[in-house]
Amino acid sequence: SKPSEWVERALERIERLDGRIGAFLALDEQALAKARALDERAPDHPLFGVPYALKDNICTEGLRTTAASRILANYVPPYSATVARKLAETGAVLVGKTNLDEFAMGSSTENSAFQKTRNPFDLERVPGGSSGGSAAAVAAGMVPFALGSDTGGSIRQPAAFCGVVGLKPTYGRVSRYGLIAFASSLDQIGPFTRTVEDAAWVLNAICGHDPLDSTSAPLPAEDFTQGLDAGVQGLRIGVVTDIDTTGLDPEVKRAVDAAVAALARAGAEVVEVSLPHCQYAVATYYLIAPAEASSNLARYDGVRYGLRVETDSLVETYERTRSEGFGTEVKRRIIIGTYALSSGYYDAYYKRAQQMRTLIRQDFEAAFARCDVIVTPTAPTTAFRLGEKIDNPLQMYLNDLYTIPANLAGLPGISVPCGLSSQGLPIGLQILAKAFDERTLLRVARAYE
């Protein structure tokens, strides 16, 4: 078999299933032609000829990139994100762009301006978010891998809800060049895959220093597949004693406890650790992320990008463009963010949030002095029903309780499937590691898998 057959198979499966799932916003019309050109070449990389999808907030030259927002509905980027360029170099073939919450703001993919995405395990339930399209596409077997972005859990939580592997690398590990910015100090691109080994291969392909992203870490290339099968003998697994469990579904708790027991049987030492400031992580995140978003989204003014509502006055053009172009959740974040940054409130909100962020990072430093990885549930529940939380933003925000701390501290995290609930819904196990220690992270994930 050859690349054009693999891509044809992916396109057929998308054609057959995506009417019901809604994972894709657009397909790349050139995918098959690109794959045919590869048929003539000798494979020289594990991803050679492999079809994949990109979350639609990752720029692709000549291919519409919307961030699932009306304001970018017709935006065709003049350049590709570094991750897309790097994947093209391996010979992987982009087949399409996947749905998301508008500008990656959400936990259910219901905030897309264009369509809903359904969970392949139960079509009445959300795939999680914001990278719900990428998670659903991999879970439904449409593509072997897809990329998403994770600002507060948007790779790990949908991976948990859809029963696939989702990896958020260390902040700075993967270039953000060409990722449509949500909260720049938190955003990180990473893969959805069916196996931990595949996640390591994709990370190999997309990681590395990029002069086009000033926050990308100047580290030498690493092979994340090395040592993957070393097991957990001698590793210390941290279990958090003071994490909030009020909204934790008992079935999720049982599955995660069983996973910890399995790791212990495989030779790991289980140690208790404390993260005392993590109770403030959601509150901290929902100041810092909207503050950065309000600044990043100032560029959508009807002049430079995308939608423009023409009027007689410049100010009115700004106002109408932004009123009509942005959805409810994005507007809510802009208002929270500009409020938190405004003079008179800055010290009370934004500055306090930054101070709390430091305390959370220090909690992790202390915890990782005593263990190699920390294990928690990825999300407090399994996939919820479409419409269940959409009218209650606070409920929606609280779903990110376990994923947000890693973004605030810049740490790598992965969600691996950890069994099914009695209703047949996937449960995710989250593993966190020290900054730039994806090797240990993947090794533990692989041992559990």
Binding site for ligand GLN (CB under 6 A): 104-107, 130, 149-154, 182, 289, 400
Q: Which is nearer to ligand GLN, 3 or 148 (CB)?
A: 148
Q: Is the dihedral of CA 199, 203, 252, 383 positive or negative?
A: negative
Closest distance to ligand GLN from the beta carbon of 249 (Å): 18
Q: Which is nearer to ligand GLN, 153 or 172 (CB)?
A: 153
Task: For residues 69 and 46, give the distance between their C-alpha atoms in angstroms, rounded to a whole number.
Answer: 34
Q: Which is nearer to ligand GLN, 45 or 332 (CB)?
A: 332
Task: For residues 432 and 63, give the distance between their C-alpha atoms in angstroms, rounded to a whole number.
Answer: 35
In contact, 429 and 418? CB cutoff 8 Å: yes
Query: What are the φ and ψ backbone dihedral angles of 74, each rounded to 5 degrees?
Result: -115, 25
Q: Which is nearer to ligand GLN, 93 or 146 (CB)?
A: 146
From 80, 107, 108, 130, active-site residue: 130
Residue position matching structure tokens 């590395």: 208
294 tagged catalytic: no
Q: Count of H helices and E strands in the chain?
A: 14, 11
Task: For residues 424 and 160, give the distance between their C-alpha atoms in angstroms, rounded to a whole number.
Answer: 13
Residue position matching structure tokens 């054009």: 4
Q: Which is nearer to ligand GLN, 35 or 104 (CB)?
A: 104
Task: For residues 150 and 154, give the distance between their C-alpha atoms in angstroms, rounded to a whole number.
Answer: 4
Question: Can you give the length of the chain in residues?
Answer: 449
Closest distance to ligand GLN from the beta carbon of 403 (Å): 7
Task: For residues 135 and 139, give the distance between their C-alpha atoms in angstroms, rounded to a whole number.
Answer: 6
Spell out where 99-205 has E strands.
Answer: 145-149, 165-168, 189-193
Q: In this structure, what token pair is assigned to residue 43? A: 């494979």
Closest distance to ligand GLN from the beta carbon of 182 (Å): 6
134 tagged catalytic: no
From 4, 34, 55, 108, active-site residue: 55
From 4, 108, 149, 154, active-site residue: 154
Q: In this structure, what token pair is assigned to residue 207? A: 């990681």
Closest distance to ligand GLN from the beta carbon of 286 (Å): 8
Q: Which is nearer to ligand GLN, 110 or 150 (CB)?
A: 150
The amino acid present at 139, given as its one-letter code, is: A
Closest distance to ligand GLN from the beta carbon of 314 (Å): 31
Closest distance to ligand GLN from the beta carbon of 155 (Å): 7
130 tagged catalytic: yes
Catalytic positions are 55, 130, 154
